[in-house]
């Protein structure tokens, strides 16, 4: 992220510019920010607060102006409580959070993602694959995907590697049949239940602030009055969720 000077460590045969320098006056995307070691978290905080950093092996301070977009599948607030993520860094990053539902709660997106990854890897491997068996697609839509979109992506990549004809061969790479079968029997949540949970999550993350730049309405892309109306309709009251 921050680069290093020549001779900073064994094998550092030349100076290397870090990602933040390369992204100067632009945007840098930090994926899986929740896995960042504590030592690097302090350096990242310095960049966000002071706009400066030092390359490894150099006492010289470099200035940088960069916008940071970070992503994680972790609950950072929990990691803060566990001492695994700096609280000050959490609040520095939590300026404008955007929440995305896990794949298991939006199975209607699975066919679109399957087609996307199929085309991507078929083109990459020089294969002509344009058919996906209906039964296989249905089983994918019943699977929980604990690994979220990445798990689906890796599954489709493996399937493309094993496919020899125009029809995607998913039989050898389909998820555990027991879990898929269990998915058939589980009761699907109503749209109102999904919407209620989504609103509650946004409210919890914003400490029940509805309006304003840091409010749940902005995160959800709703007018504050519309959000308040939905909360009344869905029976959402703060006193019922003090444990959030």
Which domain CATH number covers 150?
A: 1.10.8.60
pLDDT at residue 181, as a whole number: 47
Write the DSSP string, 119-141. Answer: HHHHHHHT----B--HHHHHHHH
* 211, 177: one domain: no
Run means of pLDDT, 10 residues per run, the chain, 244 residues: 87 88 92 92 92 89 92 88 93 86 89 95 92 90 87 92 90 60 51 77 85 84 86 78 42
Residue 10 lies in a domain: no
Q: Which of 169, 185, 201 is the last residue of a domain?
A: 185
Residue 99 lies in a domain: no
pLDDT at residue 29, as a whole number: 94
pLDDT at residue 55, as a whole number: 87
pLDDT at residue 189, as a whole number: 55
Range of the domain at 224: 191-241
pLDDT at residue 190, as a whole number: 63
Overall domain count for the chain? 3
* 127, 180: one domain: yes
Q: Which helix (H) or strand (E) holds 101?
A: none
- DSSP 3-state of 169: coil
pLDDT at residue 180, as a whole number: 47
pLDDT at residue 70, as a whole number: 94
* 176, 202: one domain: no
pLDDT at residue 143, as a whole number: 86
Residue 49 CA: distances (Å) to CA of 28, 43, 63, 116, 230: 16, 10, 12, 39, 37
* 195, 173: one domain: no
Q: How far is C-alpha 125 from the geometric centre of its chain's CA atoms?
A: 27
* 163, 197: one domain: no
Q: What is the CATH number of the domain that holds 86?
A: 3.40.50.300
């Amino acid at each position: 992220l921050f680069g290093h000077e020549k001779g900073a460590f064994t094998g550092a045969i030349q100076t290397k510019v870090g990602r933040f320098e390369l992204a100067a006056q632009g945007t840098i995307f930090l994926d899986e920010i929740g896995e960042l070691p504590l030592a690097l978290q302090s350096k990242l905080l310095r960049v966000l607060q002071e706009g400066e950093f030092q390359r490894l092996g150099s006492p010289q301070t470099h200035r940088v102006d960069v916008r940071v977009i970070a992503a994680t599948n972790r609950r950072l607030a929990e990691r803060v409580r566990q001492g695994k993520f700096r609280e000050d860094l959490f609040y520095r990053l939590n300026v404008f959070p955007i929440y995305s539902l896990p794949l298991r709660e939006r199975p209607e997106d699975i066919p679109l993602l399957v087609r996307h990854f199929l085309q991507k890897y078929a083109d990459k491997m020089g294969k002509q694959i344009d058919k996906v068996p209906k039964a296989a697609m249905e089983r994918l839509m019943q699977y929980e995907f604990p690994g979220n979109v990445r798990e689906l992506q890796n599954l489709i990549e493996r399937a493309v590697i094993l496919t020899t004809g125009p029809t995607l061969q998913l039989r050898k790479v389909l998820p555990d049949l027991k879990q898929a079968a269990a998915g058939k029997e589980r009761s699907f949540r109503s749209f109102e239940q999904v919407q209620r949970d989504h609103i509650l999550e946004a409210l919890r993350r914003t400490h029940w602030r509805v309006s304003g730049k840091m409010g749940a309405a902005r995160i959800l892309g709703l007018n504050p009055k519309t959000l308040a109306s939905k909360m009344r309709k869905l029976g959402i009251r703060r006193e019922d969720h003090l444990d959030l």
